[in-house]
Amino acid sequence: MKITKTEVFVLGDHAGAPKDGATVHGLAFVRIHTDTGLTGVSEIFVVPPGVARAVLDGPESLFGRLLIGEDPCPPQRLWTRLYNSMLHGNRRGWVIICLGAVDVALWDLYGKAMDRPVWQLLGGNERARHQVVEGTDPSHVTPYCTIISDRWDPASVLREQVERVVALRDLGYRAFKIEPMQQTPDTIVELTRRTRDVLGPEPMLSVDVGYLWSDVGTAVSTLRRLEEFDVYFFETPFPVDRMEPYAKLAAQTPLRLAAGEHAVTRWEFADFMDRGGMLVMQPYMTTCGGLTEAMRIVELAQTRGALVCPGNWSTHVLGAATVHLAAVSPITPYIESAPAEVYASPLRQALQQVSPRAVDGVIELPTVAGIGVELPDELIEEFLVPPEQGWLYHEEQ
């Protein structure tokens, strides 16, 4: 089997669609074709579509020229070739995210060629019952629902996020992450209190403030007020440019600190744990460098006594790849999900329909070959963003 073509296309919510905080403006995808007719697909989260085309679209692209004509199996060999091709370049940032998308698409191809779901090729489900969330089976993956607001004034944050939590709780979801970003400590604590009140003591609840603070003192005092609400982890209190604030906060709070949504390669995650004192790693399956690199991150985290709860503020296509890592990892009790049931984006809703979905709050391990997502032609045609319309970043910045 040989790779014959690399293709980038962009999907987004159309202009007349309802809009909220989860609207998708332009999300790039890569599809790898072979001479057998098999294809592999992945989304490329947060890479501007024009950059994705330059790196991956066709034989003249940065990585396309190295992939065409190659055997896609096994994916690790091509990961190393592409990574080493950047030895004198920048092995961080968008180029690594593009490499990660190639890697996920190659694992999708490899699974189809072997007629096996990817998690079986990654090593199989070796989790014991004591290594999963209480009340679930090792053959299930538990997503936590990320809750955002459409408006960021305090009253809207308190109302909209609690309403969305209640709606998803009533659908059977079992884990949640609220996002009181751009808020005062009082609003952060109040949203956490209200959310715990409506959930009760059992569901997992985490908090993300989106790099809100620059001083350790405010973070310490706020997290102390949150301890009574059984917060599972507290995400990104500071920008991740410096590890010193994280280390100082970690030394003064019993709450687990989490980060990793924009981190690339195992080396950045090792720094988070070793210098930052973080105990929850949140790699995105494409951003970190693909499933191949995510497996290495799991190994590093396990030796350090940390958890890997992969991030995914994107669509269920990226979520499908995340399920396969969670199936293999003994330190992944939860994965992130942006449930389309409470967001207006028609694209998110359509992609959720063709991807592994949660039933009663858990996702069954996929049994189909590959990653488990096929994008119907009619779906691509409906949401395709033509180049002449101009391509926006995935979300407004």
pLDDT of residue 388: 72
Q: Which are the contacts of 242, defined by CB distance < 8 A and separation ≥ 6?
A: none
Residue with the larger pLDDT of the pair 234 and 393? 234
Average pLDDT over the chain, rounded to whole? 95
pLDDT in tens, 200-230: 999 999 999 999 999 999 999 999 999 999 9
pLDDT of residue 394: 64
> What are the extents of the domains in the chain?
3-115+376-389, 121-364
pLDDT in tens, 328-359: 999 999 999 999 999 999 999 999 999 999 99
Residue with the larger pLDDT of the pair 391 and 32? 32
| Residue 392 scores a pLDDT above 90 | no
Percent of the chain whose pLDDT exceeds 90: 89
Give CA 223 to chain center in angstroms. 25
pLDDT of residue 291: 98
Whole-angstrom distance, CA of residue 390 vs CA of residue 277: 42
pLDDT of residue 91: 85
Whole-angstrom distance, CA of residue 76 vs CA of residue 289: 11
pLDDT of residue 65: 97
Q: Domain 121-364, what fold?
A: TIM Barrel (3.20.20)
| Residue 150 scores a pLDDT above 70 | yes
| Residue 19 scores a pLDDT above 60 | yes
| Residue 10 scores a pLDDT above 60 | yes
| Residue 263 scores a pLDDT above 90 | yes
pLDDT in tens, 62-76: 999 999 999 999 999
Query: What is the average per-residue pLDDT within 103-107?
Result: 98
pLDDT of residue 136: 73
pLDDT of residue 130: 75
**Comparing C-alpha atoms, which of 169, 51, 36 is closest to residue 99?**
51
**Comparing C-alpha atoms, which of 223, 251, 224 is closest to residue 236?**
223
pLDDT in tens, 219-262: 999 999 999 999 999 999 999 999 999 999 999 999 999 999 99
Considering only 29-38, 124-133, 221-230, which range has the smallest mean pLDDT? 124-133
Whole-angstrom distance, CA of residue 333 vs CA of residue 221: 28
| Residue 131 scores a pLDDT above 60 | yes
Query: What is the average per-residue pLDDT within 304-315?
Result: 97
pLDDT of residue 396: 59
pLDDT of residue 179: 98
Which one of 3.30.390.10, 3.30.2270.10, 3.40.50.2300, 3.40.50.280 gives the CATH number of domain 3-115+376-389? 3.30.390.10
Query: What is the average per-residue pLDDT within 119-128?
Result: 88
Query: What is the average per-residue pLDDT within 295-323?
Result: 97
Is 83 strand, coil or helix?
Answer: helix
Q: Kindly report the pTM of this predicted structure.
A: 0.95
pLDDT of residue 393: 62
| Residue 133 scores a pLDDT above 80 | no
